[in-house]
Structure 1
Amino acid sequence: MKQQRRGRRIAMLPEEVDAFLNEERTCRVATSGQDGPHLSALWFVWDGTVLWLNSVVKSQRWTDIERNPLGAVLIDTGHEFNELRGVEIRGRFDAVGDVPRSGEPNPDLATPERLFARKYTGRDEMHFDGRHAWLRFTPEKVTSWDFRKM
């Protein structure tokens, strides 16, 4: 994975990135479509290595990713300038499991489904609606900032 070059003074440490990604709830997903960039908000979970996104399969996002699996994800927070924090991840999307997700046991999805259910429902079981499937987003470059360090 490529290392962050600029802004090292305000970059988050790896453990700070992990804590931030486990704490925040909404990310913005950038994909590339035939007509240009597409940006959408999604819930996500971080397993310490990759980002997991539960996405509607009949969406512009899914169509874009099938055509070009490269993209970017932004997670940020803060209101005042000196509160701004964030992580930008550039990488590759891969569909994992059945599309759409049926709920049949899949060991590759056990961890992200447990993390997702706990984060967004407070329970251990996922709800499957026949419209969503899993995207694994593997980082190739991570850039972070925490303006509170200035």
Structure 2
Amino acid sequence: MTVTQRRGRRIMMTPEELDAFLAERRTCRVATVSADGRPHVSALWFAWDGTSLWLYSLIRSRRWADLRRDARIAVVVDDGEEYGELRGVELAGTAVFVGEAPRTGADCPELAAPEALFARKNFGLEAMPHDGRHAWLRLTPDAIASWDFRKLSAL
């Protein structure tokens, strides 16, 4: 993972802060490129395993269709209301489809850890419920930019 930020290094999150932030947040905004070249942004729950962002997406969605055609993706996770509270992370790279689509729970060792993490974080369950309408996307970011405006008060 490459940190590409030049400006704002003073407010950039440390790796530990970034991991903690992504572990506590639930919703991200996912940007894809539509067939006509326009961006498409949608909200989605996610899980972060310390290396990759795991997205459980409807397979009958514009997001899924966009990524099947062009796997480039950018994701923003942010928080804060007042200017001095704003913090967030942008992750960019290529989405990888993992497991069967739709996901029905067939044995897939690569999904064991992310499904357990996602189920606990988002459903309060020990096992992932499968509805036959969703499937997994993994984003191992090529680039990460972060900001935490709360650090401005310390400067």
Aligning the two structures, in what range does the TM-score lie when normalised by the shorter sequence? over 0.9
In the alignment, what sits opposite 1:5?
A: 6
Q: Deviation per CA, 1:5-50, whole angstroms, max 9, x where unpaired?
A: 2100000000000000000000000000113110000000000000
Q: TM-score, normalised by structure 1?
A: 0.98
Q: Deviation per CA, 1:48-103, whole angstroms, max 9, x where unpaired?
A: 00000000001100010011111100000001000000000111101100000011
In the alignment, what sits opposite 1:137?
A: 139
The aligned amino acid for 2:9 is R
Measured in 2, the distance between the counterparts of 1:120 and 1:71 equals 22
Measured in 2, the distance between the counterparts of 1:91 and 1:132 equals 21
Measured in 2, the distance between the counterparts of 1:14 and 1:124 equals 27
Residues 1:116 and 2:121 are matched in the alignment: no
SS of the residue corresponding to residue 139 of structure 1 reads coil
Q: Write out aligned runs for 1:1-150 (5 A).
A: 1-3=1-3, 4-35=5-36, 36-150=38-152
Structure 1 residue ranges without an equivalent (≥5): none
How many residues align structurally?
150
CA drift of 1:104 comes to: 1.2
CA drift of 1:147 comes to: 0.2
Measured in 2, the distance between the counterparts of 1:121 and 1:32 equals 29
Q: CA RMSD in A?
A: 0.7
SS of the residue corresponding to residue 142 of structure 2 reads strand
Measured in 2, the distance between the counterparts of 1:2 and 1:45 equals 20
Q: TM-score, normalised by structure 2?
A: 0.95
Structure 2 residue ranges without an equivalent (≥5): none
Percent identity over the alignment is 60
